[in-house]
């Protein structure tokens, strides 16, 4: 398909967050196709496939930095280089963009600067005056170590989902955005939406 705009994401939660955030901020459905690759390894493979696709205008990528932001970036850079796309040495704090064709953009969750994941991004959208957030963190902190079923590195995720459980419709992060429980005007939310708009809009 000519002039195609594609955003690759790791999973369903990422897809829902992007769709709800863009629609809430811009008032319209995304003008790009969101492709859920069902895992980082599959996304990395798909990156090269899509970069070789004829008619591609723009390719965006949203992935978790996880525990090692630098290692994740080097893997993405190596995959892109095989298709003659050179990424900068380090990701841009405002979201990386490389002019093409095709134009290529990469966002490392949560903010391109830190290790972390989608849930760390969502935590930054919780309103500062929210009274339940401290209670959710206190609840998780009160669970004895031997009773915790989550890994130490997933504390932020546990805190977030304890908070989401208190919502009127305790579902996905994207639903919390759609319901207005998360503040899309928070600084990080605005940065991410601006990156999407700059990447995909003409």
Q: What is the pLDDT along the chain (202 residues), one digit of tens a residue?
A: 567 899 999 999 999 999 999 999 999 999 999 999 999 999 998 998 888 878 889 999 999 998 899 999 999 999 999 888 889 999 999 999 999 789 999 999 999 999 999 999 999 999 989 999 999 999 999 988 888 888 877 888 899 999 999 887 777 898 899 888 999 999 999 999 999 999 998 7
**What domains can be seen in the chain, in order of their start residue?**
4-117+183-200 (3.40.50), 119-178 (no CATH)
pLDDT of residue 1: 57
Q: Give the whole-angstrom CA distance, residue 148 versus residue 38.
A: 26
Please report how many Cα atoms fall inside a 13 Å half-sphere around the Cα of residue 194, on the Cβ side.
Answer: 12
Helices assigned H by DSSP within the chain: 12-26, 40-51, 69-81, 118-123, 132-141, 155-164, 173-178, 187-200
Q: Give the whole-angstrom CA distance, residue 7 versus residue 137.
A: 33
Q: What would the two tokens of residue 58 be?
A: 């723009």
Q: Give the whole-angstrom CA distance, residue 122 versus residue 168.
A: 17
pLDDT of residue 183: 92
pLDDT of residue 2: 61
């Amino acid at each position: 398909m000519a002039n195609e705009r594609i955003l690759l994401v790791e999973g369903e939660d990422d897809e829902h967050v992007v769709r709800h955030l863009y629609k809430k901020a811009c008032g319209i459905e995304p003008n790009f196709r969101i492709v859920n690759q069902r895992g980082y390894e599959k996304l990395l493979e798909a990156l090269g496939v899509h970069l070789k696709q004829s008619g591609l205008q723009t390719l965006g990528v949203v992935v978790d930095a996880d525990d090692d932001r630098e290692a994740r970036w080097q893997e993405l850079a190596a995959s892109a280089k095989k298709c003659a796309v050179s990424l900068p040495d380090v990701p841009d704090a405002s979201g990386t963009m490389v002019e093409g064709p095709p134009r290529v953009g990469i966002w490392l969750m949560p903010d391109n600067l830190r290790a972390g994941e989608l849930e760390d991004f969502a935590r930054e959208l919780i309103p500062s005056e929210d009274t339940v957030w401290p209670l959710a963190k206190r609840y998780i902190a009160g669970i004895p170590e031997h009773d915790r079923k989550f890994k130490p590195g997933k504390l932020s995720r546990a805190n977030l989902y304890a908070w989401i459980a208190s919502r009127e419709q305790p579902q996905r992060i994207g639903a919390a955005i759609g319901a207005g429980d998360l503040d899309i005007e928070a600084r990080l939310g605005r940065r991410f939406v601006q990156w999407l708009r700059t990447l995909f809009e003409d």
